[in-house]
Structure 1
Amino acid sequence: MTDKHRVPLVLISGLSPSAGRHVAEKFRADRGTAVVHHDLRNVAAGIVHRRLQFGPRDQLVTLELDHGCVSCTLRHDLLPLLRKLSATPGVRRIVVRLDEAMEPERVCWELHHVLVGDRPVVEDVDVRAVLATVDLATWLADATGDDTLEERGLRGAPDDERTLAQLALAQVEFADVLVLAGSPPDAWTAAKTGAVLERVAPSAPLLELSAVDDLTLLDAVPAHARRGVPADPHDALVHGEPPLHPDCGVSVLTFTAQRPFHPERLHDAIDLLLDGVVRTRGRAWVASQPDVAFWLESAGGGLGIGHAGPWLDSPDGPAWDEVSPERRTLASLRWDPVWGDRAQELVIVTHQADPEEIEHALRSALLTDAELAEGRQAWARYPDPFGQWHSEPCEDTEPDPGRFDVNTNSGKDDTP
C-alpha cells in the first residue's frame, strides 16, 4: 500500500456547525475536493441526512438506519461512501465535516479496523489532517460544564450519556490543528481558554479561522501529528509537552505511583476529579483487579471508567513484540521485579480545584505498607465498587455491567 494509491482525506470536527462549514468551504474552493457531511439531529429516530458536495453537485439524501447511532451511520454509509469517492474520477481530496456529536478518534478507529468488503477503508484514503474548530465564545464553558449532550440536543444515539465536556475535550485532544473561531466574551476567558488548550492539546497549532485557507491549514500540520492514527491506551497520556507552570489558574498535575489503589478509597477520591477539573486521563492499578489496567477519564462533570486491557506482566498479557515500541519503552523504564509494568499514571488538568488536595486524596487512596504486605489474596477480598459499571455520582439504580468492559481505544463505552 502506497500513498499514491490513496486519496487524501481531511476530517473536521467541533461543536460549532458554522465554523465547520466555513472550514469545509475553504477546502471546497479546490474543485477536486468532495465534501461529505452527516446531520445526526434525528439519528435517535433512525434518520440521518447526508450532504455530498463535489464540483457543481450538491446532493442531500435522507438515510434510514435500522439502529440509530453514530456507529451505524459510519458503517452503513460513510465508510462505503469514502471507498466509492476514492475511486471516483476527478476526486483528488475528500473532506468529511463531522456532525457535532462525533468524536474524530472513533471515526478514525473505524477507518483503520472495520472491513468494508475485504479491507479497511484506510487502504483507499490517506488521512492528511484532523482539524477541530473551537468557538472562543463558548468552548471554555462547554469544556468545563456539566451539560449532557441530551440537554443540548446533540446525542449520537438514544442511549448516549456523554457530557458536552467529554465531547469537547475528545475533539481537541485528537486534532492535528485547532481552528479558532468566534470572539471570547472577555479578555480573561480568552486567556484561560488558551491556557486550557495549551495543556490538553499542546502539540496542535492554533490558527485563526479568518486568516487561513486549505493550504495554510494543511501546511500547519506538525511533522509528528497523529494524522488519524488512533491512540493506544498504554501510550503517552498527552500528545506533546504541555506547560507545567500554572496559568490563569490552569495547572497540570501528573500523578504516578508503583503501588495499587484500594478500590473503595479510589472510588471516594474520584469525586475530586469531577469538580474544578478540566480533564483527567490515565491508567490505574486497582488492588482487587491486579491484572487489568483501568482507564480513568473525566471531563467537566462527566466520568468514564473502563478496562485498558491486561498489563504486560499479567498472566494473559500481550507479548512484548505485540505492543507498540512506545509501550515497550515506558514499561522498560518503570519495570519492577515484583509488580512488572503495573503503575498509576494520571494526568489531571485543573482550573478551579487545588492540585495539592487532589494529589493528597490520590496518595491516600493507595495501599498502605501494611495492606501491601497482606498480598494479592487479601486484596481480592476487598469490596470493589468497580466490579460493575456505575454512574458518577452514584445513583440508586441497577448498574449496567455491559458499560464497564470497554474495548475501544479511548477507553470509554462503545457509544460513539
Structure 2
Amino acid sequence: MDVPDPALIPPEPDRRTPVVLVTGFSEGATAGVERLASALLAGPGTVVVRHELSELREGIVHRTVRYAEGSTTATVLELAHGCVSCTLRADLLPLLTVLSARDSVDRIVLALDPAFEAEAVCQAIQDVVVTGVVGRVDGPAGRDVRIEAVLACLDGRSWLADATGEETLAERGLAAADDDRTVAQVAVGQVDFADAVVALGPAVDELDRDRLDAVLSRLAPQAPVAWIDDLDSFGPLEVEALLARIPAQSRRGRIFDAHEPLLRGQPPLGTEHGVTLFEFAASRPFHPERLHEALDVLFDGVVTARGRMWLATQPDEVVWLESAGGGLRVGGAGRWLAALSDRELEQADPARRALAALRWDERFGDRDISLVILAHDADPAEIRQALHWALVEDDELRLVERAPERVARWEDPFGEWHADPCGDGEPTEVGQPKSQTGEGK
C-alpha cells in the first residue's frame, strides 16, 4: 500500500472565527474607525464589538455589540481595577470565545478604542488563558479565533506630527493619568503593526501626502494604503477590496520577534522627500554613559528607531531599543547565543542560530549592534556619527574582552529600568520593550 507524501496532503481548513481589528486614535481617525466598522458590518454574519474607555479611570467601560441583522446590545461594565489590561482579560477575551461559538457569527470586527493597542490585543488573544466560560475548556482565545487583518486608520493632516511629537496620551485626554505612553508611540505602533492603512486625506497638500507615503512605505512596506478624501464614499465594497489586497505573508496579528531581521517586507532604502530608512551596525559594544548622551539624536527629525544593542556592561544580555518621536523604550530581549549553555543553545530557534553563524566572531560570538532608523527631517550622517562616538574605543574593547569584571563597574544608566527625564522633561522611558510585553507601560 502506497503511503501518501505528507507534503502533498492539503492542510486542514482553519475553522476558527476570523477577527478584523480596526484602530485609530486622532479625532479624524476615530471617525474613520467607525466608518470602516460600519462598512464591514454589511458582511453577512459580521459582529462589531467596541469597548469605549473614556471613563476607564472611574472603573467604567461601555461595551457595544452590533450585529449584521441590525440589532445592538449595550452593556455598562464596572471593573474593580480600571485599566486596559483588565478590560481585555475580564471582558473582551471571554466575549470573543462566546461569539465564536455562535453559528450565526462568521466574522468579528473589533473597533478599538484609542487606548487599546492592536499588538497588545493580538498578543492577549494568543497568550492569555480565558477561564470560566461555560461549556469551554480554559485556554487562550486564539484557539477559537484568528486574526484576519489589522486595519489602521490615520488622519493624513496630523499623523506625522503626532508620530514625531512628545505629548502623552494622558495629556491628550485619551488615557488614564497613570498611562505614560506617548501619542507618538501609539501612532507609530498602529501603522507598524497594520496589515492595511486607510489615510484620510481631505485638504492634505500634495507634497505632504507624498512625504507621508514615503514614511508609510518604509514603516509598513507590505501594507496597502488607501487614501480617502470622503469617508462616505468608502463603503463595504471598498473595504472588502482593501482586505483582498493584503499580501498572504502579512503579519495578521503575529508578534514580532526581537531576533528576526529588522528590515521586514523589503522597504525602499532610497531617500524620498527627505525620508530615509537606514541601518547602524557595529561589531563592538556601546559605552553605556556615552550612549545615554548620544540617544538625544533620535528625538529630532526621526520617526522611529528600533533594534538590538550590545552594551559593554551587560555582555550576556541583548538590549532592545525602540523609539517613536520623543518617546523611547529600552529593555531586555533575552541573551546572546554566545552566553547560552550548550543545552540552551540546542533549544534556540534554528533560524536565529543560522543567522548568527554567518557573522560569528571568535571572541564575542553573535554579539553586535543592529539598529534601523527611519528619519524624515534628520541627517543620517549626523546620527551615525553620534552613535559611532558612543561605541567603546580600542583600549576599552580590550577591557571588554580581557577584564569584564572591571567593565561591569562602569556607570550604566541602563542597569535598571527607570523613567528617565534627563533633566528638562525629556520624555525618555527606559523599560520593557513593547515587543516583549505586548503593552506599553
What displacement does 1:121 show? 0.7
- Alignment check: 8 A CA contact 1:307 1:404 kept: no
1:247-273 CA distance string (max 9 Å, x none): 111111201111110000100100111
**Which AA in structure 2 matches 1:80?**
P
What displacement does 1:195 show? 1.1
What displacement does 1:246 show? 1.2
CA distance in 2, matches of 1:29, 1:317: 56
CA distance in 1, matches of 2:437, 2:272: 30
- Alignment check: 8 A CA contact 1:230 1:409 kept: no
1:72-124 CA distance string (max 9 Å, x none): 11111000000000001210111111111221111111111111132111110
User: Are residue 89 (structure 1) and residue 103 (structure 2) matched?
Assistant: yes
Q: How does 1:261-272 map to 2 (within 5 A)?
A: 261-272=286-297
User: Are residue 197 (structure 1) and residue 216 (structure 2) matched?
Assistant: yes
CA distance in 2, matches of 1:283, 1:143: 22
Aligned length: 410
Match of 1:6 among 12, 16, 24: 16
Alpha-carbon distance change, 319 to 389 in structure 1, aligned in 2, over 3 angstroms: same
SS in 1 for 2:22: strand
The residue aligned with 2:7 is: none
Match of 1:65 among 79, 82, 92: 79
Match of 1:136 among 156, 177, 194: 156
SS in 2 for 1:122: helix
What displacement does 1:332 show? 2.3
User: Are residue 329 (structure 1) and residue 367 (structure 2) matched?
Assistant: no
CA distance in 1, matches of 2:13, 2:119: 21
User: Are residue 21 (structure 1) and residue 41 (structure 2) matched?
Assistant: no
User: Are residue 388 (structure 1) and residue 416 (structure 2) matched?
Assistant: yes
The residue aligned with 2:124 is: 110
Q: How does 1:352-367 map to 2 (within 5 A)?
A: 352-367=377-392
User: Are residue 286 (structure 1) and residue 311 (structure 2) matched?
Assistant: yes
SS in 1 for 2:323: strand
CA distance in 2, matches of 1:300, 1:251: 15
- Alignment check: 8 A CA contact 2:287 2:311 kept: yes
The residue aligned with 1:258 is: 283
The residue aligned with 1:101 is: 115
Alpha-carbon distance change, 323 to 173 in structure 1, aligned in 2, over 3 angstroms: farther
What displacement does 1:314 show? 1.6
The residue aligned with 1:230 is: 255
SS in 1 for 2:160: helix
The residue aligned with 2:204 is: 185
Report percent identity of matched pairs: 48
Alpha-carbon distance change, 359 to 412 in structure 1, aligned in 2, over 3 angstroms: farther
- Alignment check: 8 A CA contact 1:258 1:344 kept: yes
What displacement does 1:304 show? 1.1
What displacement does 1:45 show? 1.6
Match of 1:169 among 176, 179, 188: 188
What displacement does 1:354 show? 1.3
What displacement does 1:409 show? 5.3
Structure showing greater Rg: 2
What displacement does 1:395 show? 4.2
What displacement does 1:13 show? 1.2
SS in 2 for 1:367: coil
Alpha-carbon distance change, 77 to 321 in structure 1, aligned in 2, over 3 angstroms: farther
RMSD of the TM alignment (CA)?
2.3
Larger CA deviation: 10-19 vs 167-176: 10-19
What displacement does 1:56 show? 2.4
What displacement does 1:413 show? 8.1
Match of 1:48 among 47, 61, 64: 61
- Alignment check: 8 A CA contact 2:434 2:440 kept: no
Structure 2 unaligned spans of 5+: 1-10, 132-137
- Alignment check: 8 A CA contact 1:11 1:95 kept: yes
Alpha-carbon distance change, 405 to 136 in structure 1, aligned in 2, over 3 angstroms: closer
CA distance in 1, matches of 2:204, 2:83: 35
- Alignment check: 8 A CA contact 1:263 1:286 kept: yes
Alpha-carbon distance change, 125 to 414 in structure 1, aligned in 2, over 3 angstroms: closer
Alpha-carbon distance change, 135 to 387 in structure 1, aligned in 2, over 3 angstroms: same
CA distance in 1, matches of 2:23, 2:260: 23
- Alignment check: 8 A CA contact 1:259 1:366 kept: yes
CA distance in 2, matches of 1:357, 1:393: 23
User: Are residue 123 (structure 1) and residue 169 (structure 2) matched?
Assistant: no
What displacement does 1:387 show? 1.4
Match of 2:47 among 34, 37, 41: 34
User: Are residue 377 (structure 1) and residue 402 (structure 2) matched?
Assistant: no
Larger CA deviation: 335-344 vs 168-177: 335-344
**Which AA in structure 1 matches 2:70?**
P
SS in 2 for 1:377: helix
Larger CA deviation: 70-79 vs 36-45: 36-45
1:1-33 CA distance string (max 9 Å, x none): 955431111111122211011111111001300
What displacement does 1:166 show? 0.7
CA distance in 2, matches of 1:304, 1:405: 6
CA distance in 2, matches of 1:186, 1:318: 58
The residue aligned with 2:375 is: 350
SS in 2 for 1:151: helix
**Which AA in structure 1 matches 2:412?**
D
CA distance in 2, matches of 1:48, 1:318: 47
CA distance in 2, matches of 1:86, 1:370: 62
1:387-407 CA distance string (max 9 Å, x none): 12333541499xxxxx8562x
- Alignment check: 8 A CA contact 1:68 1:158 kept: no
**Which AA in structure 2 matches 1:204?**
A
The residue aligned with 1:79 is: 93
